[in-house]
Amino acid sequence: MNIRHLRVFLAVVDSNSMTRAAEKLFISQPSVSQTIRELESHYNVKLFERLSKRLYITKEGEQLLGYARHIVSLFDKMEESMSQSIKNSTIRIGATITIGTYILSKLTTRFINKNPGIKIKSVVDNTTIIEDMVLKNKLLYWTFH
């Protein structure tokens, strides 16, 4: 069981339909049904009663619903917080003189354009100095192929 299972479960509850949940999540209806079956199997409970092509949440489904909303909310807050940490980070990279002269500037410019807020500190020096800085954890290890 993972966060995806809980997101699918919440979509089914909120839309009261596996088909509408699938449309909302941009996945197939059989994938939604399979995910609900996996949850039911994992917890050995029935989450929905299926009567006349309608879904009715069970008592166990209601119990899971409270936890699922809380867990998904906390997970989303964690993701947002962690991505904010990354956005305010500084990456330290190094390159040999040849790579630094001809390639590094273009790569860092592209990276900064795609990741605003992340700062890059670069060192261009001979191979021995760069290797030493990597070994001392003063630079990010980055290889070119």
Instruction: Report in angstroms the alpha-carbon separations of 53 from 49, 119, 142.
Output: 10, 54, 55
Torsion of CA 28, 33, 34, 38, to 10 degrees: 140
pTM, rounded to two decimals: 0.61
Is 3.20.20.70 the CATH number for 3-83? no
On the question of pLDDT at 80 being above 70, the answer is yes
SS3 41: helix
Each residue of 107-144: pLDDT tens digit?
888 888 888 778 888 889 888 888 888 888 888 655 54
- pLDDT tens string 84-112: 766 667 888 888 888 888 888 888 888 88
How many CB atoms are closer than 10 A to CB 34? 13
Exposure pattern of 58-74 as b/e (b: 16+ CB <10 Å)? eeebeebbeebeeeeee
Average pLDDT of the residues of the chain: 88
